[in-house]
Each structure stands twice: as structure tokens, then as C-alpha cells.
Amino acid sequence: MSGYPYADRFEINRTLPEAGQDQEAVLAELSAMSTSENRVWETGQCSGTMYCGDHDHYDFLNQAFSYFSYVNSLQRDMCPSATKFEAEIIAMTLDLLNARAVKDTTPVGLITSGGSGSIAHAVLAYREANSAKVGRPNIIKPETAHPAFSKAGHLFGVDMKIAPVDPVTTQVDLDWVRANIDANTVALIGSASNYGYGTVDPITELGAIALEHEIGLHVDGCLGGFILPFGRELGYDIPAFDFTVPGVTTISADTHKYGYALKGTSVLCFADQALRNSQYFYLTDWSGGKYCSPGMDGSRSAGLLAATWAAMVHLGRSGYRGYAEKIFATSAAMQEAVRSHPSLRLMGTPSFLFSFTSDEYDIYHVNDFLRTRGWRMNGQQYPNAIHMAVTRPQTQPGVVEQWGVDLTDAVTYALGHKDDAPQTGAIYGGVAGGSTDEIDSIVKVFMADMMDQQSFIPAP
């Protein structure tokens, strides 16, 4: 990855230009970059990332966005449409997640900027709702739960207790969870599904534990919230994970993933309005006027609300169900190709997303070869594994067949190179002789440098 992308094609702007370019030149440069980058995923060989992949749908969303792109959703008196969009997005998501099953409390929601935002707001809500009852709060999460929980704990002073998972089933150790709840535990976490393996945690059992100890249970449906409900409707063996499960108190679901909206929106659903309101922020004595905010963001583009609303009302349940049917069928076929190779092993019981490893060789040999055929997989560790998050681009004709051919060739390659070091997944190569702390320190420096390159162009 270069710190100077497109340096061979376009000028690098190290300072604000004195004279601006005309609009056609700017748009031509943007079009060239977009066209080049779209080729990476349009083939259907890219895991996740592009959940819709339909340029006609993107054009529709861009048009919806354009009507409100310049509107600040804070000004509801001037732009009441933002209230309509936001309220209906939340209501439709609550309906999808069966909030009608909630009794005695009022289910509500909050729109955030993405999955990490929804997770952060959930952690903040559990902290604030319990601030008068506990000391330093803690939350128990499976090791497979998203790192955003740990990030939120770091930001908000909430300790994360990491529960181990079964290495074969990838399911959280429920006995460990029970044994590690203490007086300061405010919530448990379960994923539906987790990012790494595409497996669903035992939400029903976690809900029973949460009820027994009178604590919350957050279901991270950021990835699966807009596809798993339709998988259940289609008859796939997906355990209950929504508000029909007693004990579930919050659920996050990303509209910008399988909700097929533009990037930048997610919905955090609450079983109880009081829990949501606990994380509202107020400042009543500011000289600029009385201030209140439902979430961490201040100004927000109403264009994203409009585009998300447009996606949902345009597709409807039948549209989402139809896409889900193709995605689940494609994932099942791709998983079957994995099962056809004795040297490969699927991790747990996956859904639309599947992960696999090998007990005979380093699975990154398979990844090495697949990269030569244009596949962009996501890598994992402990154990080494690679996963494919199946999205709409994989449902194109011919992709499953190509997967079968390329995977067979990749396995042949891996078997023939099992004694060699793989090329991918070897970030830690050369530092394995140090202590765990030393390796961790070196890796953090490397990762920081990698992030720096994404945003820093030094002066010549």
C-alpha cells in the first residue's frame, strides 16, 4: 500500500491550490479513481466490503442523498423531513427485530454513524444507566465479539472481561460467563453473527443469565441484523437472537451493510426507552443556549437519513428477503466447496459468512494462491483462518463455479508448499523470538505506521 496513491496519474496536493480546477476536471479525476477501484470488487471475488454492489441502486441512493446532502439534521424546525426519516428508519428496524415482543417497556432506537458508533452508544448507555449502583462498571464479551467493544470500554472507562470461546464451535463459554459476573457487571455481549466466523452466539442462554443477574444483554447484530431475520424466514437454522429472546435489552444493526444503505448509518435498538435516554447529554446553563444531544454526533447530514430511508422503503421485506435467499444459497454452495477438501475445515456452524482453516498446513498458503486468482479474503489468527463474507456481488453468475476451481488449485498449491512460510499472514515474521509483550509492541508500531500512511503526505 503506497502512501502516495495515484502519484503516477494525478498531481499530489500538498497545499491548498491558489487557483482551483474547473468542475469537469475534478469530476474526471474522481471518476477515474472510482472506476479503477470498482474493478476490485465488481468481479465478486472480494469478501464483504461491498454489500450491495448494484450500481443502479447506488445511483438511486445518491439521488435521494442529493436532495438533502447539504441539510443539517439538527435543524428540525426547518427540515422536519429528517424527523420523518429518522423515526421511520428506527421503527422499521424495531419491527424487523421483533420489538413487538417487548412487554412493559417502550422499545426505541438511535441512529448512529456505523457499527462502532452503535456499540459505543450501547456501552455508554449501560454505564450511565448503572452509574448510581456500581463502582467501575464491567461488561463481559466473548473473545470473538468486535474490537469496538474494547475501544468503547477504553473511551468510557468500562472494563471488558473477555470470555473464552470453544475453538471448534466458536461459541462462548457460558460457564465462564456465569463465574465471572460480579457486582459491577452491567451487561453481557453476544454476536449475531460475529465478524470472524459468521456464527451466532447462544443468545437465548445469555439472555437467561442476564435475567438471572438483572443485567443487560447487548446483541451485536451490526453484521447480521439485516440479513439473519430473513435467513430465519427462509428456513435456515439460525438461532433466535432478537427481542423475542427474554433478557435482550439492546441490539445494534447496520443499515449500511446488509441494509443496503450508503456508508455512515447504523441503528441501535433499545428494549427500554429509559436505557436509551440515560446516555442523552444535556448542558442547560451554556451561554449559547440550552443544549441537548441524543448521541455523540452533533451535525449530521440529512442526506444519509434520506438515502437510508429510501433504501428501506424501496426494497421492503420482499426485496431484502429475495437478496438474502441468493446470498444464503451462494454461501452454502461456497461452503460445500470447502467441505469437499479433506484438508480444509469450516469453523463452527457458519451462516452467510464462513471461515475455514486447515490442520495439515498453514491456511495462508491457500490465501496466497487465491490472491493470484484475484480473490481478496479476510485473514484471522488463533488459529490462522480465512473467511468470506458473502454479499450480493458473489451471487453473480459464474462466481461460485470460479470459487470451486480456484479453491481446488489453491489446496493443491498449499499441499505442495506446506513446509514453506506463507507470503500472507506473516506480518509477525522475524519477531517471533521475542516475548509476547515485545511482539505486541513491535506490531503496534507497525500498525501505527500503516495508519499514518493513510492520512499523511509530508511536504517535499
Hey, where are the domains in the chain? 81-309, 316-416
Confidence of residue 45 (pLDDT cuts 50, 70, 90): very high
Half-sphere exposure of 333 (CA within 13 A, CB side): 19
Inform me whether the pLDDT recorded for 308 exceeds 90: yes
Confidence of residue 440 (pLDDT cuts 50, 70, 90): low
DSSP 313-380: HHHHHHHHHHHHHHHHHHHHHHHHHHHTSTT-EE-SS-SSEEEEE-SSS-THHHHHHHHHTT-B-EEE
Domain topology for 81-309: Aspartate Aminotransferase; domain 2 (3.40.640)
Inform me whether the pLDDT recorded for 223 exceeds 60: yes
pLDDT tens figures, 89-107: 999 999 999 999 999 999 9
Report the distance separating Cα 417 and Cα 215, nearest Å: 51
DSSP 141-177: EETTS-HHHHHHHHHHT-EEEEE-B-TTT--B-HHHH
Inform me whether the pLDDT recorded for 444 exceeds 70: no
> Which secondary-structure segment (H or E) carries 305?
helix 302-339
pLDDT score at 139: 98
User: Nearest 5 degrees, angle CA 314-CA 315-CA 321?
Assistant: 165
Is the four-CA dihedral 71, 74, 79, 80 of positive or negative sign?
A: positive
Phi, psi of 267 (to 5 degrees): -120, 130
Cell of 220: 451485536
Cβ-in-10-Å burial (0-12, 13-18, 19+) of 236 comes to middle
pLDDT score at 215: 98
* Residues whose CB is less than 8 angstroms from the CB of residue 197 and which lie 6 or more positions away in sequence, other chains included: 144, 170, 347, 348, 350, 353, 354, 355, 385, 387
Inform me whether the pLDDT recorded for 432 exceeds 60: no
Computed over every residue of the chain, the mean pLDDT equals 93
* Domains 81-309 and 316-416 in one fold: no
Report the distance separating Cα 216 and Cα 246, nearest Å: 11
Report the distance separating Cα 388 and Cα 406, nearest Å: 14
pLDDT score at 312: 98
Inform me whether the pLDDT recorded for 195 exceeds 60: yes
| pLDDT mean over 404-423 | 96
Domain topology for 316-416: Aspartate Aminotransferase, domain 1 (3.90.1150)
Report the distance separating Cα 40 and Cα 172, nearest Å: 35
Phi, psi of 24 (to 5 degrees): -65, -40
pLDDT tens figures, 331-376: 999 999 999 999 999 999 999 999 999 999 999 999 999 999 999 9
29, amino acid identity: E
pLDDT tens figures, 379-398: 999 999 999 999 999 999 99
| pLDDT mean over 218-223 | 98
Q: Does the predicted model carry a pTM greater than 0.95?
A: no
pLDDT score at 187: 98
Inform me whether the pLDDT recorded for 197 exceeds 70: yes
Is the four-CA dihedral 396, 399, 401, 404 of positive or negative sign?
A: negative
390, amino acid identity: V
pLDDT score at 430: 34
Confidence of residue 427 (pLDDT cuts 50, 70, 90): very low
pLDDT score at 76: 86
pLDDT score at 4: 84
pLDDT tens figures, 138-164: 999 999 999 999 999 999 999 999 999
pLDDT score at 449: 64
pLDDT tens figures, 1-19: 567 899 999 999 999 999 9
pLDDT score at 75: 85
Neighbouring-strand partners of residue 207: none
